[in-house]
Amino acid sequence: MVPGTTDAEKIRSLSPDGIFLSNGPGDPEPVTYGIETIRSLLGYRPIFGICLGHQLLGLALGGETYKLKFGHRGANQPVHNLKTGKIEITSQNHGFAVDLESLKAKDNDVEISHVNLNDKTLEGFRHTKIPAFSVQYHPEASPGPHDANYLFREFREMMKG
């Protein structure tokens, strides 16, 4: 575990199996040091981002973020998993979102994986060429209670492969 201000060179010197971008508060756009570090680490090791980490990964891939009118708060937020077709019950606490169209326009190798059923905002994406994916919600909070466990298994498999 390293602070968010840790640069890519220091992270590489630790030889991690994977890079987990955790949640955190606030507007992601001013976190330029984190965005640049993530950009430098793309393709180095598997990356999994949640909440703020999802937003920073989206920005590192050239997308944009915006402030939600009301934010997503609470433990019963329905999210559509586009790969499985299932609806996941998620826990969320954020006021910003990654702009779906900006992300798709900047990087055609990004695949949308999850969409919020309440307002159709982006809830998850993965890169099709490098091992990187993220979700906007908090899979560690287990609101489903096991709806999101597969994400951690998927990340472990990426690190093994």
Q: How far apart are CA 63 and CA 119, in angstroms?
A: 19
> Which of the following is catalytic: 54, 94, 114, 138?
138
> Which of the following is catalytic: 51, 72, 114, 127?
51
**Whether 114 is catalytic:** no
**Whether 51 is catalytic:** yes
Q: How far apart are CA 161 and CA 152, in angstroms?
A: 14
> Which of the following is catalytic: 29, 36, 140, 154?
140
Q: In 10 A of CB 81, how many CB atoms?
A: 18
**Where are the extended beta strands (E) located within the chain?**
19-21, 47-50, 65-81, 87-98, 110-116, 122-127, 132-135
**Whether 154 is catalytic:** no
3 state SS of 23: coil
Active site residues: 51, 138, 140
